[in-house]
Structures are given as C-alpha cells and as structure tokens.
Amino acid sequence: MQWLALAARSAWNRRLTLGLTLAAVALSVTLLLGIERVRRDARASFANSISGTDLVVGARTGPVQLVLYAVFRIGAATNNIRWDAFRAIADDPAVAWSIPLSLGDSHRGFPVLGTTPAYFEHFRYGDRRALEFSAGAPFHGLFDAVLGAEVADRLGYRRGDRIILSHGIGGAGLPEHADKPFTVVGILAPTGTPVDRTVHVSLEAITAIHLDWQGGAPVPGFSIPPQYVRKFDLSPKEITAALVGLKSRAAVFRMQRRIDDYAGEPLLAVLPGVALDQLWEVVGTVERTLLAVSAMVVAVGLAGLVAVILAGLNERRRELAILRSVGARPGDIFLLLTVDGLIVTVLGCAVGVLMLAALTAAVRPFAQSHYGLGIHLQLLSLPELRLLGAVVLVGLVASLVPGYRAYRLSLADGLTPRL
Amino acid sequence: MSAARVVALRDLIFRWTPRDEPCVDITHLEIGAGERVFLHGPSGSGKSTLLGLLGGVLAPERGSIRFLDAELTQLGARARDRFRADHVGFIFQQFNLIPYLSAIENVLLPCRFSTRRGRRAAVRSRTWLGEAARLLRQLDLEPGLDRRPAMRLSVGQQQRVAAARALIGQPEFVIADEPTSALDAERQQAFLALLLRECSDAGAALLFVSHDRRLAGAFDRELAMPSLNRADAAREAA
Amino acid sequence: MRLSTLLIALALAVAGVAALPAEPPKHRVGDRLKQSNGGAKSGHNYQEIGWNALIPTGWDPAAPFRNMNLGALSDADVRANNALELMRKAWDEAPVEAGWNGQRVRIPGFVVPLERRDERVTEFLLVPYFGACIHVPPPPANQIIDVFPNEPVPNMRTMDAVWVIGPIEARRSEPKTSSDRRMGMGTAGYRMKAELIEPYKDR
C-alpha cells in the first residue's frame, strides 16, 4: 500500500512532464468516449423519432433519403407526389390511417410541415408514445400553427403570437410570405425528436400562401389578401411524402409492393425500421473508422506516457538504489514503476470523463435545435465503462514496460549504480 | 558462533560472469559487535562489490557470509532483502536521499520496510516520528529542516539525514561508502565524530569505506582492500 | 529500438481491433434457412416447426393452374394472366391455420424490424426467406409472423437470421367494414410472443 503513496509523491514531483502526458491521455479518452456516446445517442434518437408507422411513402428517390427528409427533416425531396396518388393509397382497404406531409417552407431556420389533424392523432414516436400538447390544441382555422417545443422555447413564442413563414429551407435571406401571418394556437410537449423543431400548419394553408407565388417567388404586382384566399380552391395538389399505418402489420410487404407498382406515378414506399438499418450500414463504416482513429489516439497518448516514464528512469536509478538499500525488493521496484504509469492512466481517464461531461453539456442545446438529436447528460453507460476499462488495461500493460526495465536495472545496479 | 561477532566472511569468491576473473576473493574477514572498521582502497578494487555482497544484493559463487546468526548464502533473494532491511543501515557517498520526500520522511524509510526496526524505534522513543526527530537532533540538524524536501538541503545536511536513516531502529551493522568524500574538510571531521558517537550509542558495528586515510585514526581497526581481497592483489600483479 | 517497435505494435493492435469490419452478409436473396436435424424437441417444451406448417392443409394457391394446360395456350393468352392474377390474390388473402393457438414453437427466419426503443427492437416481422422486403415477391399472410419479444432485443438488424421461440397464435379478426368484407380483407396473420431469440448458426 505504501507503494501507492510513494508513487504518488514521486509522480507529484514530476508533475510538469507527467501532467502533459496526462492531458494527452485525458483528451484521447474524451475523444473516444465522446464518439461512442454521440454514436449511440444519435442512433437512439433516430430510432425513437418514429413509431407505429408501417410505411413512409414518397417520390422515387432512395429509402434512406426518403426517411431522412420525411421523418428527420434533413435534406430535401427531389420530387413531390400528386394528391390523387396519395388518395389512392389512403383509400386502399388495407390502410388504417394515413398522414400527408408537405415540406418546403421554414420559419427562422426551423422547417415548416403542412399536414392534416390526422398527424396529431396518429403520429407516434419513441415507444408508441403519442404527441401531447403543453398548451393549446391542433390547428383549426386556416392560418393556425402548432409549434414544436424547441421552436417555442428558442424563439420565445406563446399562444396567440403571430409568425411569418419563409419560402425554402435555410437561414436568413429567404423570401417571406409576409402578407399571410400565422397565429400560434398550440405548442407541443417536448419529444426529443425532430417534431420539437417543426412548425406545423394545415395543408390548405400551404396552398394558400403559395397562391400568388409562381416559381418560388411572389408574382410582382399581384397579391391576394388573406381574407380572400378562401375564395380559391385550397385543396392540395401535391405533397412531399406520407406516413401510412396499416390494419395488419404483416400486410406491409404487400402494401409496399402495391405502392411501388402504382401505375400513376413513380412512388417509393419504405419500412422505416429497414431504412434506418440501411442508414446505419452507410454510417457504420464512418463510425468504425472514427472509433479506430480515436483508439489510435489513445494508444499514442499512452505510448507518450510510457516514453516519458522510461526517459526519466535513468535519473531515478539512484533513487531505486536507495530504496533497495533500505530493504526494497526488485519486485517492489517493478511495482513502483508500474503503478507510476497506472496512476497517470487512471487519472487521465477520470479527467477525460469530466471533460466529456462538460463538452456534452455544452453541445446538447446545439444538437437538439439543429438536428433534433437528443444527447443525454448521463453517468457512464456499460459500453462506455467497458471502453474505459480497456483503456486502463492497455495503460497497465504499457506501464509494465518501464516497470520491467526498472526491475532489470535495479537488479543490475544493486546498491551502487554506475551512472 | 559467538554472539559478539556481527559479520564473518570465509573463502568468499565472487565473479560477475562465469568467464570473468574473480572480482572478490576474500579468505577471512570478521567484524565484531560495535566494532569500528576503516576500509580503504582505490576504486576498482572491489569495494562496491563487497558492499553488495554484505548487503545481500549480490550472491557469491562460493564461500560463506555469516551475518549474526544467519548464513546469507543459504537465504533466497527475498529473505536476503528482508535481512538487509532488518539489520543493516547504508550511507552512500552522495544522493543518499529520495529527493521528493522530506528529511524526516527519508529517515523513516527503514521503518516502513522493516517491522523489526520500526518496533525498536518505537521502543526507544514511543513513536517513529519521535525517534526520527531525536536522531536528527543528535546529528545536529535544526528542527526547522525536518519537513524540508530533501533536495533543498545542503550536502552536509543530506549526509547527516542519511546517517539518521541508517541508524534508526538500531540496526546491528552500518555500512558507510565514502560518506565524507563530498564534504569539505572541516565538515568531514564533524560528520565523522557524530557518526561514530551515534553508532556506539546504538551499539552498531560500522564499516567505513574511504580512500582518505587521514580519517582512519578514529577507528578500531584499519583494513586495506588490496591485502584483504586476493583478487585485487592478483589484478595488481597482472 | 525494441521498445518503440513494441509500442507501435500495441497501438496498431488496438486500432485493428476497433476497426473490425462488419461481417459480410451470408445469405442471398431467396435463401431459406434449414431446419435443424430431428423434429420435435419435447425435452425443451417447444416444438420445432418449419414454415410449411403454417400453411393450412388443403390450401393451394396454385389451384387456378391445376386444370390448365399451359402448353395448349397461345402466347400472351388472357387466361394465363388471369390465372396468375387469381393466384396472386389468393396469395394475398392466404388463410391461417387456426390450429396454432398458444402452442410453443421454435422457428427460424429473417428479421424485419418494425419498432424500436432506443436501439433495441421491440417488435419485428419474421419472414421465411432472405430479401423478403426487397426484390422478390412478398410472402403471403400465412408466411409472416408478427413477433413481440419479451425483452427488447439489442443488435438486431434487417435480415438477421434468428431462431424465435415462444407461443404462436393465429389471429383471424373479422373484417371491420362492409367494404373490407367485400374485398375479403380480414386481418389474418400469425403472432408470437418471443420468449427467446437465438442467432441462427449454420450447423
């Protein structure tokens, strides 16, 4: 037990050089754990974003792309699907419910979703959880809007506030539908999914605000005031995608085949779970590469630690001889030097974990508002503990090297090292 | 085996590798309890090797090392290390102390490695700390320096702390390898006097190795390495 | 020199382990899983079955073809296509074998995940052949099992080959609306509560 105290004092004496290697180990541990945590939280977040939906239907792009823009509001559709194609699907006897989705507008960086009240009734996330309102109710009037929790929170909106939508997805500088403001009638409870950062309006409203627009910009000199829009036919002609729920889950393959074969239009229907798996396959290679790189960084950090201890070994030969003269055995010397490296490894891991916590706290709001990703501030999970254990183990094995060298030196030097 | 004998070497032969010439070849050497022996010899005469043999870190090829009641050559390495911890104190020429420990922590080191010495220290002064402090006072070290890190002490102060460490717990045998060689002339005599006094106070035999024969006068016996070590003489002759 | 080589080797070993590539898929589209040798394993309280056992005896979707002499038809004959359409419809509306109710079985198949909680699968479909949702015609209703694992399953991916063990039941809920009845669309299918899920290994 005194070895720990002696090693600690000795390490404290060399705290400048050891401190640098400790910082290296700590940073590499933060990197390793951080990548692992983001990876797992992102996967969980994606998996939790949609539930109870049998098929996601859109124009014929790719399955991953379709799910990304329809569910996660990331990216854009290449094509829309016509309303009658949607109705043909919705009216199919195998379908229990369907939710049309219309994307393309935004509000101060947050995407706007045009949909029907069926959305609030049938949409599920996480483990079959339904959407709840923290204030208000679904939209009723034409220019009503329902905000996700994040939108209301970040922009400080409350029921009754008026908002202006912009045309297109992006930040500032987009053309606005300034003459047709919307009223906030409802705010959803937080879900930890992309729903939180979405502004929900009715499909008719999307048609209404684009009545006097053509080709992505307002027609100059032509404007239809909001009170007259009802005089026009506001039924939607096109939507971006649709979510479909079936009466029997096992019917999903037949329905998928039917939609894919639909003669009227090139459509694509995907099972969200399967599309997610395909996404993970693509992302998986990147993940593994990142993990491998961070593992190498850890190895480099530990190698540096070992190098520093080895380099300092020569100066400590006198010290070791003194210890031997008061009765230390060569095995004790071996322990002393090994513990030296182990202390720095363990402390490095501890500091790395603390830095990870600080980093997580800092990054969370950004990830949530920009990507709808829920990153959790949590105690170490089991996979993370295993990673840490592996780092400590490798550090221990690496520390055996200076330990052994000191052992041999001590044996050779005896009480009187020839320096 | 008379109780008055601390160390007895007989027909001791040591060589570094089987192909070398013997480095140490001693027919007979005895040191009695409390005896003060001065050993001089030039470097290369095998002094350090002899100290290693006496300290139990080296094992001879042949011969006997009787240390109190134990035959060192028949003990395993672990037992020899324990024996050294229990019965022998060492003072080196310089760099005697662990630099990052304080003076008093250095003095306490043998108590941590030897329960016997720790016990004897506690018998003498009730606590280890008390005994360490007492020795440091005896060796003329100011109390304020007790807690100072060893690397911030002067050479003279370090040597005195080393002597205290060698003596704590009253080991039977103290080996001093050129302890005054790094000190200036006036301090050498002072240190020697302190050391001799404390050794007799503790009842410890002292083997004092030095190349400076002027110090030999204070000792009971004077030995010369070349006449003691036949291997050395053989080397000289060759 | 020796030391630095050792350290570099250590670093590479760590990196190599972390970068183990994913296993390449072992099955091709259309592959079916072999049953294990021997039939019922009464010692384990469940019965091992194959997918054919889920098809009611006497149901023959190819019935329209039985009496047809394909060689006698001319090319692109309407009757050939009609028979095909009839068979497809029959395939779609395949009945279930009501005898399977509550019996504990062990059946191999491929996974199509439906529901997840975090990364663990809480509901999936089990299909008899590889790629059932991709290229080949979808299996009929009596060849798909809606599986609810007792415990959410980690590390489960689309088209993983597994053994599912648990009680199976055949559900034949009545068509809800009159139009459903007219179309013959009862929601029929098999359901299992999976007490145990084992990865399928080729013996």
Q: How many distinct structural domains can be found in chain B? A: 1
Instruction: Name the A residues in 114-143 with CB < 8 Å from any C CB.
Output: 126-128
Residue C177 pLDDT exceeds 70 = no
Confidence (pLDDT) at C184: 42
The 10s digit of each residue's pLDDT in B68-94 is 888 988 888 888 888 999 999 999 888
Chain C residues with beta carbon closer than 8 angstroms to that of A394? 10, 14
Using CA atoms, how far apart are residues A124 and A131, in angstroms rounded to an integer?
A: 7
Average pLDDT on B221-232 reads 82
- What is the ipTM for the molecules in this complex? 0.88
Report CB contact under 8 Å: C10, A126.
no
Domain that holds residue B159: 5-237
Establish if A329 touches chain B: CB-CB under 8 angstroms. Answer: yes
Quick one: which of A412, A100, A93 has its CA closest to C176? A93
Burial class (CB in 10 A: 0-12, 13-18, 19+), A136: middle
Q: How distant is the Cα of A415 from the closest Cα of chain B, in angstroms?
A: 6
Using CA atoms, how far apart are residues B103 and B89, in angstroms rounded to an integer?
A: 16
Chains A and B touch (3+ CB pairs under 8 A): yes
Is A419 within the bounds of a domain? Answer: no
Chain A residues with beta carbon closer than 8 angstroms to that of B84? 325, 327
Report CB contact under 8 Å: A292, C22.
no
Confidence (pLDDT) at C38: 43
CB A29 within 8 A of CB A352: yes
Among the partner residues B58, B84, B96, nearest to A322 by beta-carbon distance:
B96
Confidence (pLDDT) at A208: 87
Confidence (pLDDT) at C42: 42
Establish if A414 touches chain B: CB-CB under 8 angstroms. Answer: yes
The HSE-up count of residue A284 (CA atoms within 13 Å, CB side) is 13
Same domain, A386 and A292: yes
The 10s digit of each residue's pLDDT in B156-209 is 899 999 999 999 988 999 999 888 888 888 888 888 999 999 999 888 999 998
Using CA atoms, how far apart are residues C170 and C144, in angstroms rounded to an integer?
A: 11
Cα B106 from chain centre: 16
Cα A42 from chain centre: 3
Average pLDDT on B22-38 reads 88
Residue C195 token pair: 């007490």
Residue C185 pLDDT exceeds 50 = no
Is A287 within the bounds of a domain? Answer: yes
CB C146 within 8 A of CB C192: yes
Is A275 within the bounds of a domain? Answer: no
Same domain, A177 and A325: no
Chains linked to A by 3 or more Cβ pairs within 8 Å: B, C
Using CA atoms, how far apart are residues A53 and A128, in angstroms rounded to an integer?
A: 10
Average pLDDT on C59-70 reads 67
Same domain, A314 and A397: yes
Among the partner residues A44, A93, A294, nearest to C118 by beta-carbon distance:
A44
Confidence (pLDDT) at A203: 92
Does the global pTM surpass 0.90? no
Same domain, A235 and A360: no
Among the partner residues A93, A254, A291, nearest to C183 by beta-carbon distance:
A93
The 10s digit of each residue's pLDDT in C19-52 is 555 455 567 777 777 776 444 444 467 778 888 7
Of A217, A245, A270, the domain-final residue = A270
Using CA atoms, how far apart are residues A369 and A254, in angstroms rounded to an integer?
A: 38
Of A223, A245, A270, the domain-final residue = A270
Same domain, A314 and A372: yes
Same domain, A42 and A59: no
Same domain, A295 and A233: no
Structure-token match 């001799």, residue found: B196
CB-based contacts of C179, cutoff 8 Å, min separation 6: A93
One-letter amino acid for residue B72 of the chain? L
Establish if A278 touches chain C: CB-CB under 8 angstroms. Answer: yes
**Disruptive mutation site among A17, A326, A410, A413 for chain B (greatest number of B CBs within 10 Å):** A326
Report CB contact under 8 Å: A329, B96.
no
Is A74 within the bounds of a domain? Answer: yes
Is A166 within the bounds of a domain? Answer: yes
Same domain, A75 and A193: yes
Among the partner residues B52, B96, B101, nearest to A414 by beta-carbon distance:
B52
**Disruptive mutation site among A41, A248, A345 for chain C (greatest number of C CBs within 10 Å):** A248
Same domain, A28 and A154: no
Same domain, A292 and A173: no
Same domain, A155 and A30: no
Q: How many distinct structural domains can be found in chain A? A: 2
Q: How distant is the Cα of C105 from the closest Cα of chain A, in angstroms?
A: 19
Mean pLDDT is lowest, of A264-268, B59-63, C92-96, for C92-96
CB A34 within 8 A of CB A359: yes
Domain that holds residue A189: 55-270
Confidence (pLDDT) at C30: 72
Report CB contact under 8 Å: B92, A416.
yes
Using CA atoms, how far apart are residues C182 and A183, in angstroms rounded to an integer?
A: 45
Report CB contact under 8 Å: A416, B48.
yes
Name which residue leads in pLDDT, C91 or A169: A169
Among the partner residues A94, A248, A296, nearest to C14 by beta-carbon distance:
A296
Q: Is C29 helix (H, G, I), strand (E, B) or coil?
A: coil
Is A418 within the bounds of a domain? Answer: no
Chain B residues with beta carbon closer than 8 angstroms to that of A419? none
Name the strand (E) or helix (H) holding B198.
Answer: helix B185-202
Among the partner residues A12, A322, A327, nearest to B85 by beta-carbon distance:
A327
Domains by residue range for chain C, with CATH: 42-55+96-199 (2.40.50.870), 60-93 (no CATH)
Task: Residue B229: give its domain's CATH number.
Answer: 3.40.50.300
Report CB contact under 8 Å: A277, C158.
yes
In chain C, what percentage of residues exceed pLDDT 70? Answer: 61
Chains B and C touch (3+ CB pairs under 8 A): no
Q: For chain A, which ranges sit under pLDDT 70?
A: 1, 170-171, 214-216, 369, 371-374, 419
Cα separations in angstroms, B118 against A85, B68, B106, B167, B171:
93, 19, 14, 12, 11
The 10s digit of each residue's pLDDT in A116-174 is 999 999 999 888 889 999 989 898 888 999 999 989 988 999 999 999 888 887 667 77
Of A240, A270, A300, the domain-final residue = A270
Residue B2 pLDDT exceeds 50 = no
Q: How distant is the Cα of B214 from the closest Cα of chain A, in angstroms?
A: 24
Chain A residues with beta carbon closer than 8 angstroms to that of C185? 93-94, 247
Establish if B18 touches chain A: CB-CB under 8 angstroms. Answer: no
Alpha-helical runs (H) found in A312-377: 317-325, 330-371
Same domain, A384 and A293: yes
